[in-house]
Structure 1
Amino acid sequence: MSRPVTPSPGPLPEPDDISANPSGNRLFADVLTVRLSRRTALTGGVVAAAGFLGAGAAGGEAAAAGGARQRRRLLGFQPVEISSADTLTVPDGYTAQVLIPWGTPIRANGPAWRRDAANTAAEQAQQIGMSHDGMRFFPLGPDRGLLVLNHEYADQLLLFPDGDAVMTAEKVAKSLAAHGVSVVEVALRRGRWELVDSRLNRRVTMATPVRFAGPVAGDHPSLRTGAEPRGTLNNCSCGATPWGTYLTCEENWNEYFATDDPSWVPTPEQARYGVTREGYGYRWHQGDPRFDLAATPHEVNRFGWVVEIDPRDPTAKPVKRTALGRIKHETATVTESRGRVVVYTGDDQVGEYIYKFVSAGRWRTMRATGRHPLDHGTLYVARFDDDGTGRWLALAHGTGPLTVANGWRDQADVLLRTRQAADAVGATPMDRPEWIAVHPHTNEVYATLSNGPGFPNAANPRQPNPFGHIVRWRERHGDATATTFEWDIFLLAGDPAFDPSVPLDAAGMFGSPDGLAFDGDGRLWIQSDISNSSLNNPRTYYVNLGNNAVLAADPVTGEVRRFAVGPRGCEMSGISFTPDHRTMFVNVQHPGEAVATMDRPTPQNPRAVSNWPDADPDGRPRSATVAIRRRDGGVIGR
């Protein structure tokens, strides 16, 4: 593996890598520095604090003393090697089946995929969308269930036969249809998963009517545009409720809005969310005035929410649950405690925060009495303190600085301006909070922090922090509704060639952790999202790490093994298991997207970076859901 003599952070940063947080709140990097200086335990990939792991995952120190053999069995597969090939690699003894790539008709009589991307907007609305991301499997019986998956965004160069140099109303409509969510029934037949022609199959797109619930609902002035609310946008990660619904998260919604009006300037609230006159290149406002910031100024307020979808009721409108706040939601991880429902979520941008929502009462009682558990409760934001403790700060109108006297009108105002409310109460800025996962046995909470630019202080443990890390915490008494917690760092990601403090070897080194999930045995599955400006780039710290990957970690020993490596240009995203844990569904997102070190895809050659999964000489790369199984039918990972 080659190593540059003078590595640099690389090309221009992605939008998420640029902070929009002007607050003076103490940075997590500063807190982390003090915390790291107060302990020296760094063992097997886990950065551990005395007193934290002692009662921790899978028995903590007791397991460490007597369960070494059992812990070694947690990762039973042979790791795959780092790769930059245009293929999906899985361990020996496993198979990977491409199940539903972009363009697959969701019903048997639906429009067929056209490899030249000539499908119309109306046809795309009846096909699997683009850029597969967060996903959940809802069982319907033995060997069958509903796959519900997000479509984060559209690569418009690949979406249209002639690319996106010229935008039209039809192109905007097709891009709108390529976004959103797919709900499809699948079944395992003769060892292979198949798409089932089901009445439950449907698409939720940017044209789908939705409704708002919670404090920002009904005819709230901030939502008025003169048109019915429609659509969900930039759907990243997800969650599932105990009552069987799907939560999809609207992340980088700000990127789609723009205007050609030179007199338009963002309000402070819009600037805090990164809304700009230029947008980020979609140019939807040129074909649909709802995305023109000057023409329809309130449309932007309809996005940035967690959206609830009932996968078993095709007639039900998706509902935007505003009590969970308006941010760039990366995830909506649901757990239960004392009968209440708790939702953890991250705000995916450099310098943003980690949040949780706690329902006002026991969710079963609330539903029985007609109160929705996600409409009534308290939204909190996290503060991490030097001594390894932390506090959840309530974002409740009338408490602390969030008063009328300080310019906060009501709770709806707090939720519409969630980022500014979190600034005001003193939350801790983080390095791009991503997915969050709760350990199924210990209730410890893990969160990926993808990367950050580093901060100008001599004590910062990594400056810059291009690789990211995973932080974890334990709520007081193991109660997810508590307002205090203990925290530490589970894992520093990276390449030890550039950072000797990284305890990973060739079998498990990676960077930019993003997707995160536990299986029933307690394995922590990690998915990487190295930006395509850094992927395999000799000018960056990522030169040795190859394509994006899926890895598994043992939460007790800290051992990490690489489980799968994706094709060129992709992000590995979305992860879900069947109840028997004998099938893992993962998403290969945006294969073939432009990579800094390769020729750029063009309408004439969309295959410049990747031709996965079809290897069609006249086709184009396609995001896809993949079903991974062991050849012997055993449990994944053992």
Structure 2
Amino acid sequence: MRNEGPDTAYSAATGLSRRGVVANAVLAAAGLLGLGTSRATAAPLPSATAPSAGRSGTAARGLSAFAAVAASEADAVTVPAGFTADVLAPWGQAVRASGPRWRADGSNTAAEQAVQVGSHHHGVQFFPLAEGAAGSRRGLLVISHEATDPDLLGGEADKAIAAQGLTVLEVRESGGTWKAVDSAYNRRITGDSPVRFSGPVAVEGRSRGVLACSGQGVTPWGTCLATEENFNAFFGTEDPGWRRREKHVRYGLSADGFGRPGHRADPRFDLAAAGSRPEDFGWIVELDPRDPSSVPVKRTALGRFMHGSATVTEAAGRLVVYSTDAEDGEYLYKYVSADEWRILRARGESPLDHGTLYAARISPGGVGQWLPLRYGYGPLTRDKGWRDQADVLVRARLAADALGATPLARPERVAVSPLDGDVYLALAGGTGGSPCTGEVARNAGATEACARGADPHGRIIRWREERSEGEKQREGGAPAPSFSWAEFLSGGDPDLSADGAFASPKGLWFAADGTLWISTGVSGHALNGPDPAHQAAGNNALLAVDPTTRRVRRFLTAPRGAEVTGVAGTPDGQTLFVNIQHPGERTARWGVPDAGNPRAVSSWPGHGAGGRPRSATVAVHLPKS
């Protein structure tokens, strides 16, 4: 089978190699289904260099002291006693005061949606607009929009495209309440907005659109990194003569577009059309929220896949970006700049354009290795079907296959501790990389394979980067290609208290005091039971964890059908911004909404007689005394 490369609009060409490694075969043969030691056997990690100061973590002086809330099945956001949750930026709210009003019947047009807050809120970041204490009362929220629900959205494919991308909103705290305000900073980035490409992959002609945005990160120079995840859902075709090739199969591209094909609205998304551009999507996008005239930049050196995370830190002065391919059986990645980021910027070069992308190979014995996705390395050569570095990055999934990276059980968000530099990864659960636990893990031995099995509840692992003296000399001080890891927490663990039971961890975020915040995303088919672990966890939630004691406490619960996704905070640690995604989504427990009954599962946040549920950001804080 020919290993097709990208379309001719890209500076890469078709190749001849097959997918080098099939995920399930690797797992079964190599025993890498289990990223885990049991909690009883997890050893302390060695020391590591902490990330640089001045990152986006926030002190949690007021937030870390709370009485845990109980698991809930209520159609509401619940927070601890004494805290307030202000609803900000619900889907459909106009981003400017002069914009179109939200129509509760879902009849807003695509043009109106393009200047209203998008749908399915995911990643979020807060960018202060003032120095000192005032910077914790006024700032910009950048909100990612991951998907749409056709039954609730109303309208056709063009409206779904307009509901994608990013929203930038100014928010202020006044009189003890947070509100979005009209501002010159406010804007939308949609699936039709102009973008530009930078890095090894060159794109001919003009490009537009940011789709399926998921996790976010913040660069040391103050820009936002937003990830494109399930962009494949928007592509499709009605041409009966179209045939899937390997480049389509590996990226989940199909004729039906998973029920949301955009090709009916725009030929860019028609897989059979000459101008089809699936390679325009699946990147990490850089945006300057403080410059309303700036054009988003797709940073191609960071690779093309279904990005679930873009977590920024630094090591030895070099920029490091951890990312994940957020599908079952996919990989963990790390990007390292070619030189210290300050030196690159002083030369007028972006640290996001010059560096190396790595994929992780992880063994059950607690050791990991970073494999460079670099043209000419290992099998990534011309005689194996790879044309150049651009080709490797456009087909990053296939390159990681060829190198033998480790498939994982839905790798989602990455977080780096501001105290000790430990790196944490949320595995939401699945069958693509099931962890070894219990008696198997205790008895198998450090180097023996673990038995295969599903991981329905997910888990969190952590690791620490390691460097030998030889590696330091050989790589000129660059971060090392190896790490040591251990399991941190397991979803559905019966040893968790009732106040800390959780399943399907997806989001991770650190406050500056070292508190780890976990947001969960149990899917609708499993939410609220009948599995005992899902019953114990209740609705999806936001939980706080002390990494030293591993004590877990539930801080917030979501409405019915919703996931808790992005989390960010103010510099003074007094406010958390928390995204509530797709309340009212179909669930086995509560039913199936449709155009005739959009409120079958949830009516949050309006709870009125009309309307429909709406994704939104909530600002959770202690009222001013």
Q: Smaller-chain TM-score range?
A: 0.7 to 0.9
**Does the residue aligned with 2:536 lie in a helix, a strand or coil?**
coil
Change (3 A) 1:416 1:27: farther
Match for residue 455 of structure 2 among 452, 455, 465: 465
Judge which range, 276-285 or 390-399, deviates more: 276-285
d(CA) in 2 for partners of 1:28, 1:320? 37
**Aligned counterpart, 1:65:** none
Match for residue 355 of structure 2 among 377, 386, 389: 377
**Does the residue aligned with 1:86 lie in a helix, a strand or coil?**
coil
d(CA) in 2 for partners of 1:124, 1:73? 37
Match for residue 97 of structure 1 among 65, 86, 98: 86
Match for residue 195 of structure 1 among 174, 177, 180: 180
Residue by residue over 1:428-465, the C-alpha shift from the partner in whole angstroms, topping out at 9 and shown as x without a partner, is: 11111100000001111000000012779986478221
Residue by residue over 1:540-559, the C-alpha shift from the partner in whole angstroms, topping out at 9 and shown as x without a partner, is: 85233211000011111111
Alignment of 1:108-147 (within 5 A): 108-141=97-130, 142=134, 143-147=137-141
Aligned length: 571
Alignment of 1:195-344 (within 5 A): 195-219=180-204, 228-296=206-274, 298-344=276-322
State the shift of 1:599 in Å. Answer: 2.8
Alignment of 1:18-33 (within 5 A): 21-22=22-23, 24-26=25-27, 30-31=31-32
State the shift of 1:75 in Å. Answer: 5.0
d(CA) in 1 for partners of 2:279, 2:419? 39
d(CA) in 1 for partners of 2:214, 2:418? 23
Whether contact under 8 Å (2:410, 2:432) holds in the other structure is: no
Is 1:510 the equivalent of 2:502? yes
Match for residue 394 of structure 1 among 372, 375, 386: 372
Change (3 A) 1:272 1:385: same
Change (3 A) 1:21 1:153: farther
Residue by residue over 1:25-49, the C-alpha shift from the partner in whole angstroms, topping out at 9 and shown as x without a partner, is: 346993465963xxx752xxxx621
State the shift of 1:598 in Å. Answer: 2.3
Whether contact under 8 Å (1:258, 1:291) holds in the other structure is: yes
d(CA) in 2 for partners of 1:74, 1:148? 22
Whether contact under 8 Å (1:590, 1:622) holds in the other structure is: yes
**Stretches of structure 1 lacking an aligned partner (at least 5 in a row):** 1-19, 59-71, 165-170, 220-226, 497-502, 634-638
Change (3 A) 1:508 1:540: closer
**Does the residue aligned with 1:271 lie in a helix, a strand or coil?**
helix
Is 1:526 the equivalent of 2:524? no
**Does the residue aligned with 2:207 lie in a helix, a strand or coil?**
coil
**Does the residue aligned with 1:514 lie in a helix, a strand or coil?**
strand
**Aligned counterpart, 2:396:** 418
State the shift of 1:95 in Å. Answer: 0.9
**Aligned counterpart, 1:152:** 146
d(CA) in 2 for partners of 1:173, 1:115? 19
State the shift of 1:217 in Å. Answer: 1.7
Change (3 A) 1:631 1:365: same
d(CA) in 1 for partners of 2:482, 2:592? 49
Whether contact under 8 Å (2:255, 2:271) holds in the other structure is: yes
Q: Percent identity?
A: 51
Q: TM-score, normalised to structure 1's length?
A: 0.85
State the shift of 1:21 in Å. Answer: 4.8
State the shift of 1:524 in Å. Answer: 0.5
**Aligned counterpart, 2:382:** 404
**Aligned counterpart, 2:609:** 617
Partner amino acid, structure 2, of 1:484? S
d(CA) in 2 for partners of 1:98, 1:34? 38
State the shift of 1:269 in Å. Answer: 1.6
d(CA) in 2 for partners of 1:33, 1:627? 37
**Aligned counterpart, 2:598:** 606
State the shift of 1:533 in Å. Answer: 0.9
d(CA) in 1 for partners of 2:228, 2:45? 34
Whether contact under 8 Å (1:145, 1:187) holds in the other structure is: yes
Q: TM-score, normalised to structure 2's length?
A: 0.87
Whether contact under 8 Å (1:569, 1:591) holds in the other structure is: yes
Match for residue 417 of structure 2 among 439, 448, 454: 439
d(CA) in 2 for partners of 1:29, 1:135? 38
Change (3 A) 1:300 1:454: closer
**Does the residue aligned with 1:146 lie in a helix, a strand or coil?**
strand
Match for residue 491 of structure 1 among 489, 492, 496: 489
d(CA) in 2 for partners of 1:305, 1:54? 33
**Does the residue aligned with 2:263 lie in a helix, a strand or coil?**
helix
Whether contact under 8 Å (2:45, 2:484) holds in the other structure is: no
Change (3 A) 1:477 1:558: farther
Change (3 A) 1:296 1:537: farther
